[in-house]
Each structure stands twice: as structure tokens, then as C-alpha cells.
Amino acid sequence: MNESVERQLYEIIAKQSGIDVATITPQSTLKDLGVDSLTAIETIFEIEEHFGVTLPDRDPNFDTDSVQGLLTALQQALDGAAAAPGAA
């Protein structure tokens, strides 16, 4: 995982939930961070918009409960976008 991508993801989570970015770790769950379900959805939308990707919200294996799950899904989406035909 690119440190810059990880840092940007943490910053989005912190901004959306109003918490200190220093409290976020890959092991954190959104519930542990005090993120309610509506804020979690808004955070996912913000991540998608910021990185220009679509996260697999209909995939039953998509872990939206943990920061690591979001990191994994984001990295897969970024890898898929980079491998797509016509990608820069």
C-alpha cells in the first residue's frame, strides 16, 4: 500500500468523522472510531470521489467495518483502474 494513499484515506476518514487522524490505524474499526453508519456511507462516497474509483459496495466480501478493509478495497480499485484499457 502506497503510504500517500494510506495517509489520504486516513485524512478523509478523520475529516468526515471529526476525529484526530492520529487515532486511526489499519486495525481500527469505524465503530471504534465513533463513525456511525451514515457517516461511513458519506466517507465511502468521499473516498470514491477523491480517488476517482468505485468501491465494491455490492460485494459481500467488501469489509466496510474496518480501516484495513477500506484500504484493501481502495488498493484493489486503484489497481483495477490502472490496469483498465486507456488508463494513463
Which band of pLDDT confidence, cut at 50, 70 and 90, is reported for residue 1?
low
**Whether the predicted pLDDT of 17 surpasses 90:** yes
User: How high is the pLDDT of residue 82?
Assistant: 76
In the numeric block, which cell numbers belong to residue 11?
A: 485524512
Give the mean model confidence (pLDDT) for residues 8-32: 95
- Residues 47-78 pLDDT 10s: 999 999 998 876 777 777 899 999 999 999 99
Average pLDDT, the chain: 88
Cell of 14: 478523520
| Residue 56 Ramachandran class (φ > 0 left, ψ -120 to 50 alpha, else beta) | beta
